Each structure stands twice: as structure tokens, then as C-alpha cells.
Structure 1
């Protein structure tokens, strides 16, 4: 996955386009993230080393400046001793010159360390920028990975649901429809039988009424005959 080490400043849409072309996007995206995490760790170690150099140089600068002040004070002290007749003028000036020479040497070293510190500070700033870029891009790739995982989970759930539905359609639903159809046919036959029974009963009632009516009419005629009407 070294090819991804140079992909430091690509956008989210470019990442998405790149991921779509991967054969195994989740595994490869995780590999990209791990690779960048490795780069980040190495870069942070570089930062620590470079920053440590700067700190040491800054301490050296402070130490040289402090020591230079001490030698300046020594030069002043021997000159005052000569003024107070505690030390010969020639000896005092010789010691003062040596103290001032050491002071200048310390100040020169301090300036040299200062230049080195500035150079290393620029390196530290470059390393800091790379760390920021790596962290930012790791975040973007993690976002893409989360999206891929969520998409896979949704697809898996959808596939599972579809399989369950397909199983129902192939088995349970068909059986249920058959039962419903059979029940419906039985209900229709039962309703038809009741309807036929009702019609038969109605016809029997009509026939009975007609027969009863004829019988009463005969009785009426017989009664009329009896009465001579």
C-alpha cells in the first residue's frame, strides 16, 4: 500500500472515487488507514527528535549567554581591582582581555546555536504540517470506511430480508393462499347450498298454500250446496 503514501491532500470525493475501483474496498481502505497511521507514528517520532534538538540548542544559547555575562562581570571586577590598587594595571588588563575574549567566544557560539535552532525550527514546522495533513486525511479515510461498513451492513440486512421474503413467497405464502382459496370455495358452496335450500323451502310453502287454498274452496262449495245457495 506504499502507493497511498503520496496521497496526502486528496478530497473526500476523490477518495470515494478511488474506493469504488477497489476490489475489496473495506479491507483496502482499512489498509490505507493503517499505512497512514504508520506514517503518522514515524512522523511524530521525527517531530520529537527535531524538537528535542531545538530544545537543546535553546538551552545551549541560554547557557552561553549566561556564561558570557559572568565573564563580562569578571572583566569589570579585575579592572576595579586595578583601580583600587589591589591588582596591577597590566595584570588587570590582561585578565580583562582574556575574560572579554571568552565572553565574545561564548556570544559567537550562542549566535551559531541560534542559527541552528532556527533551521531546526523550520524543520519542526514542516513536520507539524505533515502531521496535521496525515491526521486530517486519516479522518477522511475513516469517514469513508464507516460509510462502507454501514453500507455493507444495510446490504446484508436487505439481502437477509429478501431471502426471508423469498422463502415466504415460495412456501408459506403459497400454502396460505391455497388454504384461503379452498376456504373461499367452501364458503361459496355453502352459501349456494343455503340459497338453494331457501328457494326449495319457498317453493314448498307456495305449493302448500296453493293446495290449502284449493281444499278450502271445495269446503266452501260443499257448504253452499248444503244451504241451497
Structure 2
């Protein structure tokens, strides 16, 4: 699984790029891969614990067999001393001492095997610890990669939508629309100016007509004559 993700996400490899191009949902695949790696980590931790237990057991067995070998040697020495002191039959002492030495040798051989097993288990423990550490680092790495991937997906989607909207905008039709609007505004402005000219022309004619039809001066002359008549004064025309 770890090798799969190395191959899958290693930047620059054509095979990895080909696989990624075929992904329908790289985020879900990455999440599943991280989940699988966490499962591998759990199994590796269990294996590590079991191998460590075997290594500890082998070390304890080694110490126990060495202790037995030493004990048999001590017993063989005591038996020989008893035979020498005539505390027991000499031949019997030699026989028992020999049996004790045989057991000592067997214990030493067992201690040697246990020590060899212990060393092998220690090597296995070191390799498993290395693998566990590598899996942990990969999980952390791909979790960070996943965060980056999610962020890139959001940005790419937003950029794609924006570019799509921009692509759907027809620049020529937009310019044409603006030109039509500009022409319509110019027409409206010209029409407004024309109505203004018409209004001013109508106003001038009315002023001329009012001036021509102004009888205020004639009325004033008539009123003056009438007032002089009331006063008994002669008008300018009569004099």
C-alpha cells in the first residue's frame, strides 16, 4: 500500500500522471488510501508488539539457560568434591558429575540458540519500527497532501467557473450592444434638442404676435383724452 501511494503521487512520473488522469475522484481515492495506510499501521503495531514480546522472551530464556548451565557446573563441582572426600562413592560421583556437565552443555546450547533467536528478533523489531515510522510519516505526508489537494480543487473549480463565464461572454456582441446604446442616446439627445428648438421658435412667434397686438398705449391715449375732457381741458387734437 505504501509503495502504491509512492508510485501514485510521486511528481514527475508518467505512470503516476496517467493513473491520476483516469481518476474520477482523486480526493476520495486519497482518503481511502490514507484509511488503508492507517489499517496497515495498526497491523504493523500489532506485529511489532508480538515480535518485541518474542525478543523479550528470548532474552529471558537466554539468561535462564545460562543460569542453569552455571548451576549444573556448580553441582558437578560439589558432587566431585563429595566423591573426593569419600562422602559418596567415587564412581557414582563421577557418573552424576558427568550427567550434570552434560546438562550444563545442553543448557549452554539452548542459551546460544535463544541468544541467536533474540538477535534475530531484535533485527525484526528494528525493521518493524522503521516500517511503522515510515507509515506514520507517509500518513502525515498524505494527510497534508490531501489538504492541499482539497484547496487546489476548490481553487480550480472557482477558476473554471469564472473562465467559463468569461468564455460565454461574446465580446463582439457586447461591443455591438454598447454601440447601439450609444446611438440611441445620441438620437434621444438630438430629439430633445429639436423639441427645444421648436419650443423656442413657438415662443418667439407668440412674443411677436403679442407685441403686434399690444393696445396698452392706445388705451392710455384714450384715457388721457377722457380725463382732460372731464377737467374741461382741451385735448392736443382740439388745440
> Which TM-score tier does this pair reach, normalised by the shorter chain?
0.5 to 0.7
Matching of residues 133-172 of structure 1 within 5 Å = 133-154=134-155
TM-score (norm 2): 0.57
Query: Which is greater in Rg?
Result: 2
Please report how far the alpha carbon of residue 87 of structure 1 lies from its aligned counterpart in structure 2 after TM superposition: 1.9
How many angstroms apart in 1 are the aligned matches of 2:8 and 2:97?
Answer: 64
Paired residues of 1:30 and 1:145 also in contact (CA < 8 A): yes
How many angstroms apart in 1 are the aligned matches of 2:7 and 2:89?
Answer: 70
CA 1:55–1:9: 2 relative to 1, 3 Å: farther
Partner of 2:11: 13
Matching of residues 67-86 of structure 1 within 5 Å = 67-83=68-84, 85=85
Structure with bigger RCO (C-alpha 8 Å, 6+ apart): 1
Partner of 1:97: 98
What per-residue deviation string (whole Å, max 9, x for no partner) do you get for residues 15-61 of structure 1? 9x948926665511111111111111112211112221111111111
Please report how far the alpha carbon of residue 99 of structure 1 lies from its aligned counterpart in structure 2 after TM superposition: 1.2
Unmatched segments (≥5 aa) in structure 2: 164-239
SS at match of 1:134: helix
SS at match of 2:71: helix
Partner of 1:39: 40
How many angstroms apart in 2 are the aligned matches of 1:102 and 1:130?
Answer: 41
What per-residue deviation string (whole Å, max 9, x for no partner) do you get for residues 178-202 of structure 1? xxxxxxxxxxxxxxxxxxxxxxxxx
Query: What is the Cα-based RMSD across aligned positions, in Å?
Result: 5.3
CA 1:144–1:12: 2 relative to 1, 3 Å: farther
CA 1:10–1:140: 2 relative to 1, 3 Å: farther
CA 1:53–1:23: 2 relative to 1, 3 Å: same
Unmatched segments (≥5 aa) in structure 1: 163-229
Paired residues of 1:22 and 1:28 also in contact (CA < 8 A): no
Is 2:115 the counterpart of 1:114? Answer: yes
TM-score (norm 1): 0.59
SS at match of 1:49: helix
SS at match of 1:13: coil
User: How many equivalent pairs are there?
Assistant: 212
Partner of 1:87: 87
How many angstroms apart in 2 are the aligned matches of 1:19 and 1:102?
Answer: 66
CA 1:9–1:139: 2 relative to 1, 3 Å: farther
